[in-house]
Amino acid sequence: MTQKGSLKAVKKNKAEEPELEPLCCCEYIDRNGEKNHVAACLCDCQDLDEGCDRWITCKSVRPETCERIMDTISDRLRIPWLRGAKKVNISIIPPLILLPVFLRVASWHFLLGGVVLTSLPVLALWYYYLTHRRKEQTLFFLSLGLFSLGYMYYVFLQEVVPKGRVGPTRLALLTCGLFLILLALYRAKKNPGYLRNPASRDRSLGSSQTECLNGKGQKTKGFPGTDVMGILNNRTLKDDQKDSARLLAGSPTMVKDDWCAKCQLVRPARAWHCRICGICVRRMDHHCVWINSCVGESNHQAFILALLVFLLTSVYGITLTLDTICRDRSVFTALFYCPGVYANYSSALSFTCVWYSVIVTAGMAYIFLIQLINISYNVTEREVQQALRQKTGRRLLCGLIVDTDGVTDKMPC
């Protein structure tokens, strides 16, 4: 009788709810919960009108007004899609526009090239610290990295390959390296080892089970199609709860240090809470903006592999390009002395892209070196930073090596 009563109540509520009209490809539900249209993206924007009026009258625009304008733009920037327009993250757009413009301007003259190529890392670091201070996720660096790969490959095909110095075998090898980078990045973007609260998972499983009973109206226990794996998963969740209870009862001091108030769980050894992702990660190394995800226990190997393949592919592409536009010179000599490279636009653009690739490669090589040193010392970057903040570690070799002084036990990885 109870199940029948609940079924009737659910059916009555569904009957009372008004049916929403399906959205066309250009319609969407905005942040205020109202139906809107892509064509009306410039209509009824009081914050933008106020900002323009203050800018025209040479008055300062208040920071809160700028934030509201950016929120409105990010909410209305959409592309038509099936069953409603899809929202486009505004942070992916600047690299698509600014990178080709900056590189083409830098190829006009070597002085312009020096200014532009020096300012690009400064702007990237400024944006990094801005978003890192606000603890915000951003797709800017992921978009910059992927678009840089694509644009460098495009310039190589358009400007370097037609000169006839790069054969099919070399081109195929470079192309395979590019695909391997993308494959490793895809693997590194996967779950780094997120920690879920067993109690919340139990509650979600229980609610799913109740919905299944209400929907079918049958007297079944568990989920439809439940098998041995489902039983094992439930046992694993209960075991996790028991382990947490033992820790809570056993060592109060340890629990106080390992308890995460935001995730409401006891973290295992070497797990940390990422303030940007908002979740705890097993053996967290750091939050990498280039993949817009944490580097942890499950994706650390893929992250190292992506760095290694990128370095090898980038150095190989730089070598092929310099060998084509600066013939009869070694790679290192051609990088600093290549007379006549600005005589035509094609070679100038290729040379500018080479220097851009060198700057990016140098930054990735530094990250790769730090990772190798941390692995050899069996520490994570998070543990290194914690040792420096607590003044339990000391820097060696100009800061490349940090002796954590026993933050973690010296045990094999």
Supply 320's token pair. Answer: 């092929």
Please count the CA atoms within 13 angstroms of the CA of 108 that sit on its side-chain side: 8
Q: Are 281 and 274 in contact (CB under 8 A)?
A: yes
Considering 288, 294, 326, 353, which one is annotated as catalytic?
288
Active site residue 24: no
Q: What is the DSSP string of 150-212?
A: HHHHHHIIIIIGGGS-S-HHHHHHHHHHHHHHHHHHHHHTS---B---HHHHHHHHHHHHHHH
Residues designated catalytic: 288
